[in-house]
Structure 1
């Protein structure tokens, strides 16, 4: 994906770029490691029903996808896009403090929606800085992104222990600590200047593409729909596993093993990139999604769900790695944050809508709602296959695209 030799990697980059970028991923994913598995448990502890829980989790997602692309485009035009991170972290920290005094449906919905809006640009901007490091200095994307997943694992394991002792009440204070760390890491994140415009040298063959190419847009749509099939898992799996009698620690382990399998993919991302095209990674991940959701309603033992959670390496990490390679291969660096913002928009919008729907689905169908998720994943896979046929071909590569993505 990067036409530079290993000896050239990192030449001219800010000091400790790889470490600082990896740590910049860690802070927000520490927050996610608590919020994703355990925030629904906190909501259930407030006696909200399935529909209310789905609504509280879905509305902020929709708001995030409206805010993130706008902030991403602003970041593309700033002298230093990392400055966005401090504002995002600070405002998110204030909303986390406000959750200490909210217990009713509407106050929780409003505060959590504001948090979704203020927090929305953090990860896309870090992502754009990491991808700039890939373009300019030949860094491996997976070796930086993987540490965010490690942070997620650490937070989830600790959260599983804490929720076993204090119950759902531990969620707001631990999230507040996580947001405080995002403020600290925003100051440590690499400063690499503005995005490079056309005509400036970069270490990647110019893709010569536009962000608005139908091929990339359809790929983003297909991937986003496939990713939205995780909605029931993200919203109700912790509650489902608690109902099956699993302890807080066991629930934490089930979340951790999913992320740990994802970590392995990021560690091996360079090897996978050499062996498989981006299209192949996305297709494999989408196909495994269909199988995963078809099996999920089965009342497995802890070991059975452990195995199913290992499939997260395919259903998330394969697909995420693949779409990031497609973005790198298709857009100019000057459009990087905007491209990430557009993908974030599609991904968040579909996930938000599916999360809202999951409240109704789970309330009516219970675990059988995963069958609906299997159909959603299949539709996403079909769109990805269509997008592949929209890809322009290069005669220089004997009818195949010239880049390995």
Structure 2
């Protein structure tokens, strides 16, 4: 059931994230407005995770929080059909994101607790999220060639509804009471250099993703690629994730957190620069999408591992929430806003992707402030 939940959760991201720009473009939004809307709704990921994780850690009922988040996500997302203006849609997506942030941190905690008492690894379960992303990205990409730019929102309602139904069948494993483990406040762990450097590097990585998340599909459309081709390119990137998730545990044991993060961030910088400079070549796009295995898949698996090992069990939900809030929330919002301001209807694509590359490299260099053994 956890695998199916990941399939639907990340499948929904495969519906919305690559194609939200096309949906908004179809509604008549400018590139600046698209970037601003992406930034505003991403800000919900700063406030939401901490709120929900605090509730989950205090009452210990992560499953209930996950289910409530799924239900409220469906309800609030449906309001997108009643708004057409900038602020109305911003409200719809912002509320949806606020409740959406209740899902993933709790799902990660439940999964890590479950694999601790089984032969399965985190990567073996998490890879089904990548499979869901691939399937629905390709399906919606093909559908966009046939139907209107409204297709992503209709598909999203169906996927989110199924996610809520699936969440009703999730059962959390029994774990020992950890209320006295890791006494004190979580701040005593967050202010330590390894965690601070990790969060900064993660935020830089997500800032760099702004151009990709907001404008990759529009970029390829402007270069003459079809919706189906775009779906295949995006799916290829996520397919590469599947392979890396199967290898993630062994890679972490062999090379450690620091080495894997550093290599992934450097190669991600190369990826963004190549997209901005050479995207007319299909081979460049194909190779850059394979690097997505490192840009997202490996960095995420390593990050979840680092948080689970660095923080005591009583702070796991809040640790995951802080990671999502700062990296994906603040970092994602800043990246989306900057990309929207730079894009200029695609005229500044090279500058936008070069800026993204610079932030990824800055994140890699920041890791030099921390010793390898401190991060594991």
Report the counterpart of residue 306 of structure 1 in structure 2: 286
**1:204 alignment partner in structure 2:** none
After superposition, the Cα gap between the structure-2 partners of 1:72 and 1:194, relative to the gap in structure 1 and judged at 3 Å, is farther
Task: Determine if contact 1:223/1:282 at 8 Å carries over to the other structure.
Answer: no
State how 1:2-41 maps to structure 2 within 5 Å: 20-41=1-22
Query: Structure 1: how far apart are the matches of 2:162 and 2:176?
Result: 26
1:123 aligns with 2:99: no
> In structure 1, what is the equivalent of residue 353 of structure 2?
370
**1:296 match: secondary structure:** helix
User: Which residue is 1:93 aligned to?
Assistant: 74
Counterpart contact for 1:65–1:120, Cα < 8 Å: no
Structure 1 gap ranges (5+): 1-19, 201-208, 393-400
Q: Name the structure 2 match of 1:264.
A: 243
Alignment of 1:348-367 (within 5 A): 348-363=329-344, 365-367=348-350
Q: Aligned residue for 2:272?
A: 293
Contact 1:279–1:322, Cα closer than 8 Å, also in 2: no
Larger CA Rg, structure 1 vs 2: 1
Select between 98-107 and 286-295 the one with higher mean Cα deviation: 98-107
Match of 1:380? 363
- Rounded to whole Å, the distance in 1 between the matches of 2:53 and 2:193 is 21
Deviations 1:166-206, CA, capped at 9 Å, x for gaps: 13111111110111012112112222357741668xxxxxx
Secondary structure of the residue that 2:59 maps to in structure 1? coil
2:67–2:164 Cα contact (<8 Å) kept: yes
User: After superposition, where does 1:27-176 map in structure 2 within 5 Å?
Assistant: 27-137=8-118, 139-176=120-157
Separation (CA, whole Å) in 2 of partners of 1:53 and 1:93: 22
Report the alpha carbon displacement of residue 99 of structure 1 after superposing the two structures with TM.
1.0
Provide the secondary structure at the position in 1 that maps to 2:171: coil
Matched, 1:254 2:237: no
Provide the C-alpha distance between the structure 2 equivalents of 1:167 and 1:244, rounded to a whole number of angstroms: 20
Matching of residue 281 in structure 1 with residue 237 in structure 2: no
Instruction: Count the aligned residue pairs.
Output: 366
Q: Taking structure 1 as the reference length, what is the TM-score of the superposition?
A: 0.86
TM-score (norm 2): 0.92
Q: How many Å separate the matches in 1 of 2:179 and 2:51?
A: 22
CA root-mean-square deviation? 1.9
Residues 138 and 367 of structure 1: is their aligned pair in 2 closer, same or farther, counting only changes over 3 Å? same
Question: Aligned with 1:167: secondary structure?
Answer: coil
